[in-house]
Amino acid sequence: MKVEGKVGIVTGGGGGIGGAIAARLSEHGARVVVSDLDETTARSVADAIERDRPGTAVAAAADASNTEDIQRLIALAEDSFGPVDLYFANAGISGAPGLDATDKDWDLSFDVNVRAHIRAAQLLVPGWLERGEGYFVSTASAAGLLTQIGSATYATTKHAAVGFAEWMNVTYGNRGIRVSCLCPMGVNTKLLYEGRESGDTLGAAATAAVLSAGAVLEPLDVADVVLDAMDREQFLILPHENVLDMYRNKGADYDRWLRGMRRYQDSLLDNNR
């Protein structure tokens, strides 16, 4: 899939990975709707793109988990540029740590990290099937393949995001719809440091786990990996290559992996008490 000439929507596009993907899409000849819950940040990203490449970006405030808001984004893209070819379900939240997460916390995490993907697919896939082409990119996390120390909501919903992306790929992959799933570890964004700044021991352990697991990448570097993977229509996008080894080790001996993770968690908790 070449992105040149395509029309894309990026949720959570007001910075971080989403903002970087939006910028790289424009650089490679795509036109993009930059969406974020915070209109100011979305507009800042779109304005920066427009200064360099006029006519290639518009911004919108939207809740990526709200069906009506997703419909508005699709309509904005169509009115501004044409039918949507690419959808980046990138918006995400870290969620509350541990079992202290309330039902409201769980509902919000499922809405943003999973149902947002489902609702977007429900709106886009019928049209893509008629046109015979479309590309859906789900931003999950290495936590969706492994786990996330500290945050049950994040670990669980990111697993679900991976599962939905897999299902989409299997169900529609032979009908012109490409699906990729982005699973990075540490990326230099606000989300990475939320646990450490929460004041919660488990939250601090969550950030420490990611920081100690491998290099912290810059969002633009991740965006480059994403576009390269899309060019090859690769399902699993791993900016941190060692995640694949971790995933293989997990599957090869699940109980050994769990024992190792428990020891790792204990060491992190000891260091953050």
pLDDT tens digits, 106-134:
999 999 999 999 999 999 999 999 999 99
Give residue 179's pLDDT band: very low, low, confident or very high (50, 70, 90): very high
Q: What is the pLDDT of residue 161?
A: 98
User: Dihedral through CA 163, CA 179, CA 175, CA 112, nearest 10?
Assistant: 60
46, two tokens:
């779109």
CA atoms within 13 A on the CB side of 238: 15
Q: What is the pLDDT of residue 273?
A: 63
| 200 pLDDT higher than 70 | yes
Q: What is the pLDDT of residue 194?
A: 77
CA atoms within 13 A on the CB side of 167: 10
Helix (H) or strand (E) holding 178: strand 177-182
- Taking the alpha carbons of 90, 232, 79, 26 in that order, is the dihedral positive or negative? positive
Per the CB < 8 A criterion, the answer to whether 255 and 55 are in contact is: no
More confident residue, 57 or 209: 57
What rounded mean pLDDT belongs to the chain? Answer: 94
* pLDDT digits 0-9 by tens, 236-273: 999 999 999 999 999 999 999 999 999 999 988 887 66
Lowest average pLDDT, out of 68-72, 200-204, 220-224, 240-244, goes to 200-204
Residue 109 and residue 114: Cα distance in Å, rounded? 8
Per the CB < 8 A criterion, the answer to whether 3 and 227 are in contact is: yes
CA atoms within 13 A on the CB side of 206: 28
Q: Kindly report the CA angle at 171 between 224 and 71, in degrees rounded to 5?
A: 65
Q: What is the pLDDT of residue 272?
A: 64
The CA-atom distances, in angstroms, between 205 and each of 60, 91, 141, 157, 212 are 35, 23, 17, 19, 10
Average pLDDT estimate for 63-68: 98
